[in-house]
Amino acid sequence: MITLLTAWVLLEKFLGAQSGLAFAVLGTPLLALSTIALMVWAAWGIERRKVVVLLLAVVADVGFISGQRTLTRAGDRLFFETRRSRLESFSRDIVAYGRIRQMSDGMRSFTELNGDVVSDSATDSPARPLAAPAVPLEQVLVRDAIAAPTYEEYRRRLRDLKIIQFDTAPGFVAFLYDGMLENLEGYLVVRPGASPPAMRSTLFGATLIRLEPLGNGWYRFATT
């Protein structure tokens, strides 16, 4: 169970945003139940071997609990490093194309493109509630001279990367991994000669509270 939970924490970002919520609900109970089961087994005819196994289990439990934050950070870094080259290529393409300043992957409750909530009959349900009046996708594509194949390619690349949204600014390109309205997290790359966004500035509509350097102009960010 310790091995399973360790792998779960380490690979959480690869499994998707819902994996973290599932771990928060199931992780501790699973650890507790497995430990209790081992204690019952050890108490059923006490032997030196069983006592040793139980002590090792307790040490493993303590080690896992105390090292969970480190595992999470290691998993986050592993997730980023396996995508670094693709994110770098994607950010260059975004800047070079220049017509798509901001967009989401179309997999959430609403789809955004260049600051508008858009409706796409291929992916959106007309009955779903929207935070703002939806603009037909085709209208935004024409307005901003965006080629439909390029838009679909960008959406596919976001999904392949398990990134839900990107946003551009004069000095950087930011990629959002997860979060709704607050507690956002993701990665951003600063363009050569530019500076990263200032702390307490606004990013994806939230307040930036952490920037962790990842090397070569990349940062991991978090917001309130």
Output the tens digit of pLDDT for each of the chain's 224 residues: 999 999 999 999 898 877 887 888 899 899 999 999 988 888 887 788 888 998 999 999 999 999 999 999 999 999 999 999 999 999 999 999 999 999 999 887 789 999 999 997 655 444 444 455 789 999 999 999 999 999 999 999 999 999 999 999 999 999 999 865 568 999 999 999 999 999 999 999 999 999 999 999 999 999 98
Residues 6 or more apart whose CB falls under 8 angstroms from that of 205 comprise 181
| Nearest of 172, 194, 195 to residue 186 by alpha carbon | 172
Task: Spell out the long-range contacts of 27-34 with Cβ–Cβ below 8 A and sequence spacing 24 or more.
Answer: 30/1, 30/4, 30/5, 31/1, 31/2, 31/5, 31/61, 31/64, 31/65, 34/1, 34/2
- Report the C-alpha gap between 189 and 195 in whole angstroms: 10
